[in-house]
Structure 1
Amino acid sequence: MSHWMPASPCTPPGCAVHAGRARHPVPAAALLLAGCALTLAGVLCAPPALSLTGGAWRERLIRCWAHGVLRAFGVGVRITGPPAVREGAPAVRGGAAGSRAGTPGVLVVANHVSWLDIPLVAAVCPGRMLAKSDIRHWPVLGPLAALGGTLFVERERLRTLPATVRNLASALRGGSRVVVFPEGSTRCGRAPGGRFRPAAFQAAIDAGAAVQPLRIRYLAGPPDHRAPAGAAAFVGDDPLTASLWRVVRAAGLTAEIRVLAPIPAGAVPGRRELARLAQSTVASDSANLPAASVHH
């Protein structure tokens, strides 16, 4: 098994279960149609809309669209923490050296729970995604990913890894914000996350780019009694259609994304150390989750 194909202990029967209120099938079907329609509208309208807008307006447009997709599928959005590092902002440097000349991009890393993570991250800090090549062939989402400049990787072919790292580093050097889920596999979010694979962090080191960690959770229930929601988990061999239906049937589902402190470029010497630091940063933010959020 290669570094691009890590295993996850999560399975649909054991993890992707909604224990809260369920929507009636009729409004759930309406949400499903609305979410798919807005996603398809993004595919059709993205080329002219993005070509006619500048950097700041383009990012604002993507954020609004991504937020709208989540809401159309019936998912609330909660964003916490400081503002994310901007695309094209001066590099965040470690030590006393201050900012460097030039504007390398930012490597955004997050734990991975669901296909919902993609619009959720885009609602906070849109960027070029690193995704498995299979996604290119997904209906609706695949063409949209390609239009958004997604960097595709063939995870079953380990010999493509060096070229993937070079492509990531090139995108970062060019000032792009690149989004990676370094666990390499989705997990339901109710157990400690998987190990962050170090390859993408080598690209950040090569490009002199900062790392922006994010923590993703999906919760259900009233605001004062929210609990981790299994409905959002897209794990194992779960079909996309089954996951879509489970999401729209889950009433009160909220996607929460926490922006954590960026890790400056050059903060640690090697890719494995940088991967461990990013992983511990994301994991420590979940250390105070309630006991119900931990697998027994």
Structure 2
Amino acid sequence: MITTEPEADPFDAHRRLLFATAYRMLGTVGDAEDIVQDTWLAWSKADRSEVRHPKAYLVRTVTNLSLNRLTSARATREEYVGPWLPEPLLTAPDVAREHERAEEVSMAMLVVLESLTPVERVVFVLREAFGYSHAEIAGFLHRPEPTVRQIAHRARKHVADRRTVHDTDAARREEVTARFLSACAGGDLNAVLELLAPDVTAWSDGGGKVSSARRPLYGADHVGRFLIGVTAKAVRDAAGTLPVPAPAVINGELGIRILAGDIPVGAITYDLDDGLMRNLRFHVNPDKLSGLRRRDDRDTDR
């Protein structure tokens, strides 16, 4: 007797794609997971006999749920305490070796996407990150194809105007990260300053939940002294487990993950230009660190 295994449920087969899509659209791990869960609920209630293309149905559902979430999130973020940064996400080490994939999910790219309108962001992600045609996107959004083409053109130009080219040399980034960790641990201000671009900017996202700079810091001296001060304060305030920073691939690039035991308490991401650190981002809001936990069912692959 010949037996065959049951076919995999399309939702399970595309779960990673759905999370990757929602995360790029929203920039938040928790919201992306909620969207995936809501998509599963819609899928579980759907009349499967009416669904000719399950993948398209699932992506369309994620797209529209994300668009609704983005629209409502804009008002919430206007009341956010201090700078708002996208949530950091651990990614597979191989992502860092593939420039195109790393660029798509990099923290720098997510920050630029924050400047788009919700519909521009959704169209840009579907078109540029996942390669959907204008006609397919028009079907997802129930909008005329010429309108989608205009939105895509506008979003692409907006991103191109704000995107800057950064150093992607993996070996250099590894060296800079190691030197940075050593300098901060040793309280060596001069060594830190050697690694910072003169016009470096630093943002701290604490969301009012933990102590952090409420405004961006500008210039190597200000940023360097802030780094040394934060490191010293962490040591003084440590109650029991001392937070330990270590290199980690975050959003497709080598960054720094900070753990207290096995609990993520922060992350540092940055851009690298000519071997110097620029655009430092301190992620310390405890509500936005779930993406720093290792999970087998979460990915940023297409």
Which bracket does the TM-score occupy, shorter chain normalised? Answer: under 0.3
Higher relative contact order (CA 8 A, sep 6+): 1
Q: Larger helix proportion, structure 1 or 2? A: 2
TM-score, normalization: structure 2? 0.24
